Structure 1
Amino acid sequence: MNDRHDKRADTDAGTAERDTDLVEIARLLPAPAPWDLPHEQHLHHKEQLMQRIDHDQVASQPRPARRLLRPAFLVPVSALALGGILTAGIVVTTGDDAPATTATRQHTTSGTSSAAVLLDRISLAAGRGDALEVRDDQFVYTRSKSMGADLTSGKAVADPLRETESWVAQEPGPLLKMGITKTDGEKASNINAQLGDTEGTPAGLSRPTYNWLASLPTDPDKLLTYLYEKTPKFEDSKQERDQAVFEQIGSLVGGLMPPETAAALYQAAARIPGVSKAPDAHDAIGRKGVGISRDDKTFGTRTEWVFDKKDLNFLGSRSYLVRDTQYGKAGTLMSSDAVLATAVVDKAGRAPATAQQS
């Protein structure tokens, strides 16, 4: 009897651990859905879905369920169907909360050294852009294309590429309605305040407006310290802190951003251990460029940011397996997106006459 009880306990523990791994790996996988958000936001719809996951975990598991909070943007960009689970862009962290020390920031391999050189060039290019005057009553418009892998079958199956437009309110807030988004020309859906923000979501990492981004430190060391302190972290997470901060930066770049802030973010990224150059990177629509990447050793995935080879403008991002896992073989694409255009507009729902093309 005791042997049967012990075996059952071992099975339950193994199942719970696999379920946790499924939820965490899904953070990389944007799935095409009417709520597919562009590179600028991880917002209300994912929060709703993750709250549902939390509720299901409480109902089905004897141990307390962990709440997974999403970052503000999509690093890549939407929710993923994982059986009965939908999730994406989750920043989950563990380990030391302090930023990397001077010693750990030393670039000890040729890969990280070349990444630092490339990020310095990208930073200089970003810093030469024109700062904008964005009023609180305006909206930031983004048009993008993205795809993700569906894990419902237990294997990564690529879903179709979809085009998304979004109009994000620039009021400092807090706001209950933060803008609208629509996919493949379908009817627009509201981007609502995150669950728990009963009085609305203010500007910040959860809703980075242009003027809030302009308020961030432009000294890369101070900015990196801020990000290590403010990037969400959770108990029982398997993801290392450096990867979480790298993905937080990735969730911010690519949208409409003040030049000085963009320059500082790329310089901050160069200081994260494990960041490498990816010379043959390409985005969701096949535009080839140079890339910056970092491997998540826990899940065997690589996240890449893709930049135009000529002007070093941000093109998009992608994530794929770098080792064989239960979801597929090394090289299996998990998510990909491409930023097509950005602009500032006066009214949500209207495409701009002109937009900054990526």
Structure 2
Amino acid sequence: MRIVTVELGENSYEIYIGNDLHSELVEFCKKSSFSRLGLIITDTNVGPIYGGKLKDMLAEGGLEAEIYEIPAGESSKSLKQFEAIMTRCIELGLDRKSPIFALGGGVVGDLAGFAAASYMRGVPFVQVPTSLLAQVDSSVGGKVAVNHPLGKNLIGAFYQPKAVFMDLDWLRTLPKREIYTGLGEIIKYGIIYDRGFFKYLKENTNDILNLKDEETAYMIARSCEIKAAVVSEDEKESGLRAILNFGHTMAHAIEKNTGYTRYNHGEAVAIGMVCAAHISRAMGLVDEEAFAEVENLIRIMQLPVRAQGCDIDTLYEAIFHDKKTVNGQVKWVLMDGEIGKVRISKEVSEEDVKNAMKYCLA
């Protein structure tokens, strides 16, 4: 088992990564000062497989938790579902020490986290991510939110979990597409922070794609270490943390333009990274070789590099509705000199952006 600590003062917590984390989770519950009642929020895909297992573990740790299932999919990350969860929390009589556990992917984690941050102005929150994407991205760092019809993640908060449990055995039931989508965010960490990690991904693609235990544990732990290092320096995204948004400006526009149904998040990020790399090359920040390395690794990891069902004008308009846009200026995270380094720039021309979008549209 590997343990990664997210250092945030009194909000610090540990991420547990390994096979069969049963005993670690039970011991955590026994040591925590939780109330007797709790809530497990999951979805209709994950709940039938792992909901009962988690409920039994929590019971072993002295916690009686109800399972609350939401429909699987991005459309559940809504104010309507949030209100329904609030109603159920009140009906159950949950108090300020009643924990909420998020069991599932990023949609479940974001929604459950926002519920935990809001109910009684904050109750304990524990992440149990079951998708590769959630394990390396949304379950770490404390960003929680719901979507609005006019944009993704526009309603939310920064709210840190008490702990994160990543059981590698629970990845075995993932469809191949869900494995690939997690790799989109994993590749990102190499591009923005660690060229050596990017090289590791290139040299171990087959084992990674087949989720071999050693390679999977390492790539998840290294991804979490990088995100933890960035978040520890900038919890509320006032500076450095913005580099984690590499590829996301275009990705959110693609997701919105396709109704959050054609591409899942990691796929959209993959295309968005090609777009950001294209802009970086056009501005002379990286050479052709670095651009090709990024695009090729994304392609090898079975991720899309072109978007279908989008048009340039709609995409361009959408980037100005992203939550990272301030006073009409888009903050682009761009490659800077080589793989492993990035910069943030507001000085990107419309021509460079639209040329990159054109390149990334099928």
Normalising by structure 2, report the TM-score: 0.26
Higher RCO (Cα < 8 Å, 6 or more apart) = 1
More helix, by proportion: 2
